[in-house]
Amino acid sequence: MHKVLIANRGAIARRIVRACAALKISSVVVFAPADAEAPYLSEATEAYPLIGNTALETYLDQAQLLAIAKRCGADAVHPGYGFLSENPTFASKVCESGLIFIGPSPTWLEQMGDKVAARTLLAQAGFSVFAGSGLVQSADEAARALAKIGLPLVVKPSGGGGGMGMSVVRTESELNAAIERSRHIATQAFSADGVFLERWIERPRHIEFQILADGAGGAMHLYERECSVQRRHQKLIEEAPAPGLSRALLNQQADLAERICGELGYDNVGTLETLYEDSGQFGFLEMNTRIQVEHGVTEAVTGLDLVATQIRLAAGDPLPADRPPLQGFAVEARLYAEDTQTGFPSTGRLTVFRPPELYAVRIETGFQEGQWVTPYFDPLLAKIIAHGDTREQAIGRVLVALRAFSVEGVTTNRDLLSRVLQDQAFLRGELDTGIVSRLQRG
């Protein structure tokens, strides 16, 4: 592999540029007009403009991206996360063009992208799933599924992610309306109206397991990440290892995920996401067939460059010889340009944008001072990742970095992040997916 086209933007595009440089591989970035001042354009080997303004016209335009890949002489495409990263059609077109797709094979993107199919596959392989249904096609099927699952339950689109289209049902009379609502949102967001039902878990923890695999039966887990601090089903703070749970329990579940992914012949990187309830049960949530936003947390506690490893695996290199040991604690906070009261993105010119340089703190960002935050794309400004010998030390270093991070020109969620990081329940490791909403209610 000699030259990689990075079909993405922002922090992940910059991160892939850095990994390519470490591997002595040429990197090619693409950019929409809104990203014309991004710092990674000068850091990459080459940069090509995209025609259009919106995501659909630029980073989701498969023909335009493939044309640039051909023009620049790339031999591989890295999709990053979001956009086309889990699109099996795009992955297939990349492969059909004679290029390497840096990610799982199109077959895995398709199979894991269908949540009903993924649930069925993992259950058959021996991974625990919470009670649920197949695709619900009629009111009669919905009623039968409700009788089997019980209340409360959640209606979920079978495609997509990020919590979009989910509807919690607490009474039987709400069911049909919830299904129609989820179908409508799924059609608009994912161009598919399939939905299924699943038992609703009150106040679960969201714990995910990082997997590497070679497609030939080899697999390796890199422990877990705790991702329970969320708002509107979007993660805000992630950490490793997961606090308050025994290492033996977590390793048992990670070993199971590793074994199943190996036996199934999974390839490249993936994250097996679970919900964990107080009874001690893990239940499969979904498999993310890409590098995760929060991959830096795992890098911090293992010392392994996950993006470089992903590139090596795509090039046919073997898995790492040994699993690196856990080294300390890492915490990541996502700094967004947003109004935390309304939840809407905050747009404007970054008149001041000065990430701090601190010991054991890593800042991942695709922005620099003077750049505009536009309404066209995700408003994630930066990821602040801190490492420590103790969890408390890592949390403290994130807090210091948040306070030292100078941002003017947009509103950020800094205050909300600081509140969570100083919350007594959070500090005790008493986590669940409702912690942010409870703090915001006061």
Exactly one of 119, 183, 231, 290 is catalytic; which is it?
A: 290
The residue with tokens 């390839």 is 267
State in Å, rounded, how far the first CA of the chain is from the last one: 53
Q: Reply yes or no: is the peptide bond before residue 49 cis, omega within 30 of 0.
A: no
Given a contact cutoff of 8 angstroms between Cβ atoms, the answer to whether 111 and 86 are in contact is no
C-beta contacts of 58-62 below 8 A and 24+ residues apart? 58/30, 58/32, 59/7, 59/8, 59/9, 59/30, 59/32, 59/83, 59/84, 60/84, 62/87, 62/89, 62/90, 62/93
Burial readout 415-428 (b: 16 or more C-beta within 10 A, e: otherwise): ebbeebbebeebee
Concerning whether 290 is annotated as a catalytic residue, the answer is yes
For the chain, the farthest-separated pair of C-alpha atoms sits apart, in whole angstroms, at: 60
The residue with tokens 């990670």 is 254
CA distance 95 to 72: 17
CA quadruple 77, 66, 80, 135: dihedral positive or negative? negative
- Nearest 10 degrees: Cα torsion 297, 85, 40, 227: -20
Task: Give the burial class of 189: count Cβ atoms within 10 A of its Cβ; 0-12 exposed, 13-18 middle, 19 or more buried.
Answer: middle
Task: Identify residue 208 by its one-letter amino acid code.
Answer: E
CA distance 332 to 238: 5
Q: Which residues are catalytic?
A: 290
